[in-house]
């Protein structure tokens, strides 16, 4: 397939390279030119003029506003697609927004797959993501080879856009709560004289563990808050959860509290740090010092 790929961040670059490794021709775009150069070094090419129309566009940008701008706004990447080509949209957005994008794509004679992703940068680079997808059968058919290259598992969740994004929000509800709980647990342990390393070693082989604990706790142990996923990401993702829940008249007190903690951490100046920095936010409130904090 000829695939145009937009958004070569920590996840997107790995996904684009996985497509190249699977034999697809990939033209990439990212505002950071260095990311495009990294794709080119792996066998991809920069966007350039779309002399040949693409079979698929993969959009791995941050949010709904960027998705709209990239696909149908200023950049109008959808115009680079051949008639009947497919948009594979991977951003975390609301189900209503996904449905809106599907309708706009279909009005333009294009297919649309609501396809948020999970798994992290390492799995993205290995072509082993989990993709939570929903859309028309024809969209799955056209997107199939690309999905196979990027994902270990493709969950088919419905025949129209929306359910994929709803499922991503279920996942993000749990992920955000687990990261907040990780930070609280490490701060709590430190307040009792336990080192973060001790807590990480014991919890990781005990009933209280989670994938997020095992992935993020080492960042705290090492005092390394270089952003892989920023604190501020959770204001967006848990904010979407809150919006969906409010529309459904469903209380979500646990994730709402986690959102409040991430908001507090952001307001305390930690918004651009790795989301594991939520641990520093809790620790500072209790007068506890963690590695990498002063």
The residues assigned a catalytic role are 168
Q: Rounded distance, CA 232 to CA 247, Å?
A: 23
Whole-angstrom Cα distance, residue 279 to residue 176?
Answer: 13
Q: Name the token pair of 26.
A: 């990939």
Measure the CA–CA gap between 241 and 168, rounded to whole angstroms: 10
Task: Identify the bridge partners of residue 2 per DSSP, sorted by sequence position.
Answer: 25
In degrees, rounded to 5, the angle at the alpha carbon of residue 290 between the alpha carbons of residues 199 and 257 is 80
Name the residue among 68, 19, 69, 64 with its Cα closest to residue 39.
19
Q: Which pair of tokens denotes residue 240?
A: 């979407």
Q: Which residues pair with 209 in a beta bridge?
A: none
Angle, helices 33-41/12-21, rounded to nearest 10 degrees: 20
The Cα–Cα gap between 97 and 199 comes to 41
How many angstroms separate the Cα of 283 from the Cα of each of 89, 142, 185?
A: 38, 50, 10
Closest by Cα among 286, 293, 292, 294 to 191? 286
The SS3 call for residue 128 is coil
Neighbours of 4 (CB within 10 A): 25
């Amino acid at each position: 397939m000829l695939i145009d790929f937009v958004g070569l961040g920590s996840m997107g670059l790995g996904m684009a390279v996985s497509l190249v490794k699977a034999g697809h021709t990939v033209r990439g775009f990212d505002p950071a030119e260095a990311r495009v150069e990294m794709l080119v070094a792996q066998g991809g090419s920069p966007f350039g003029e779309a002399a040949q129309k693409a079979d698929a566009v993969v959009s791995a940008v941050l949010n709904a506003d960027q998705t709209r701008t990239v696909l149908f706004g200023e950049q109008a990447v959808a115009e680079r697609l051949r008639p009947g080509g497919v948009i594979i949209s991977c951003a975390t957005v609301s189900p209503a927004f996904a449905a809106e994008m599907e309708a706009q794509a279909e009005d333009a004679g294009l297919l649309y797959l609501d396809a948020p992703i999970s798994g992290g940068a390492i799995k993205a680079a290995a072509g082993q993501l989990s993709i939570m997808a929903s859309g028309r059968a024809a969209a799955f058919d056209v997107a199939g080879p690309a999905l196979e290259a990027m994902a270990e598992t493709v969950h088919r969740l419905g025949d129209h856009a929306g359910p994929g994004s709803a499922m991503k929000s279920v996942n993000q509800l749990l992920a955000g709560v687990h990261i907040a709980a990780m930070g609280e647990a490490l701060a709590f342990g430190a307040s009792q004289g336990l080192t973060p390393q001790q807590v990480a070693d014991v919890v990781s082989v005990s009933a209280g563990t989670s994938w997020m604990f095992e992935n993020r706790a080492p960042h705290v142990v090492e005092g390394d808050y270089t952003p892989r996923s920023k604190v501020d990401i959770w204001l967006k993702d848990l904010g979407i959860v809150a919006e969906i829940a409010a529309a459904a008249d469903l209380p979500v007190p646990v994730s709402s509290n986690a959102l409040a903690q991430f908001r507090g951490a952001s307001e305390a100046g930690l918004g651009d740090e790795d989301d594991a920095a939520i641990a520093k936010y809790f620790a500072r409130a209790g007068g506890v010092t963690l590695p990498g904090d002063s």
